[in-house]
Amino acid sequence: MAHMSSVVLSSAPTDAELQSRFRPVFAHIAEGAIRRERERRLPFDEIQLLRESGFTRLRVPQEFGGLGASLPQVFRLLIDLAEAESNLPQALRVHFGFLENLRLEQDPQRREQWLRRAGEGAIFGNAITELGQGFHDRYRTTLAQDGQGWRLDGEKFYSTGSLFADHILVAAQRGDDRVSVLVDADQPGVSQQDDWDGFGQRLTASGTSRYEGVQILGDRVFEGGYGDPGKTHQTALFQLVQLSVLAGIAKRAVADVVEVTLGRTRTFNHALADLPKDDPLVQQVIGRGEAAAFAARATVLAVADLLGELLDLLNAGEDAPPELYDEAELAAAKAQSAVIPLVLRSVTDLFEVGGASITRADKALDRHWRNARTISLHNPVIYKEQRLGDNLLNGAAPPYAWTVGERNPTK
């Protein structure tokens, strides 16, 4: 597959250039999706293919070895990748989020250092969430002074993508402050497990990671941690990656059901046609599924345009107006409320085109519902819908991350 990196991009890659580059990559990844699901084989080879093809450096500026793609272009490709393999965009979610932060890094030396690493193919994973600890609690993972440097100790759950990563962004408590620490995945004291036992998104490497006496240099500590108060692009960006996964699942589910339907000759004695493919009710179910996939994709890309506008301003060194942050954050919440039920209904209703045989394990169609249901539960939609209503009725702040201990943010 090495020939795919030979496509010469212009100063700003076009959609056609990016499609030409990555369409064969995604097709190759899709070929093994069902087998990987059955065998629970983590997609190390597929991650490596994405690295070699340049996918992981889409948002890295060209001056640092990246492709310099726009944010909307990245989300178009994330949806396409999710259609091929829904686990991969989720596994790379924090990678792309960290790249956006690096693009905005105020320290020029640090910005260039890590963007160049990304331009060379480095992948960033995450270790943020801890079992039993809520958003408003202090992390039990600690960063403490140790001689001339720092010592990191703790355990994380949902360390999504870290088994694929070269560097891991670890959220830690340094006294009263939350910080982010960039750890090398192969450092002494770092251990990781693929022990995620959810019924969906099983191949994201969302397992436990432990940090025991990991030595940290000062330049690896980033001030501010996940969940800090204030307006940010991050919450909308991270949510939109999850919605991209849902949009991709919706499209792949339709394609799989079409393939199954075209191969079916058996139908019911009260069916409306001799062959399922000619049955108007079967056609309607599939048509509705295709419409759902189209609507999910269009919704995600509409929010990506807003986020892209915001980040373009910030990358140009300009101050973005507060209302632009709010517009993007509220748009992501609206998209979440619209896309999740739409896709969940679609991947459920598509089973109506066949009898019980459509649930056979060799077709693995159940993976679409399991994966969609699992990815939809990140940042539960019920809270976002409440915040949307409160915003409209009372002018309450959009649902950004809240300050530790603050459960009722003001306007």
Domains with residue ranges and CATH for the chain? 15-122 (1.10.540.10), 127-222 (2.40.110.10), 233-394 (1.20.140.10)
Per-residue pLDDT at 135: 59
Nearest-5° angle of CA 150, CA 152, CA 155?
Answer: 175
Give me the residues of the chain with pLDDT under 70, please. Answer: 1-10, 133-136, 227-228, 265, 269, 271, 273, 401-411
* C-beta contacts of 273-276 below 8 A and 24+ residues apart: 276/353, 276/354
The whole-angstrom separation of Cα 167 and Cα 165 is 5
**Mapped to the 3 state alphabet, what secondary structure does 141-200 carry?**
CEEEEECCEEEEEEEECCCCCHHHCCEEEEEEEECCEEEEEEEECCCCCEEECCCCCCCC
In this structure, what token pair is assigned to residue 276? 């399922």
pLDDT tens track for 63-83:
999 999 999 999 999 999 999
User: What is the pLDDT, as a whole number, of residue 275?
Assistant: 81
Query: Could you tell me the pTM of the whole model?
Result: 0.93
What pLDDT does 134 receive?
60
How much is the pLDDT for 317? 94
Alpha-carbon gap, residue 366 to 364, rounded angstroms: 5
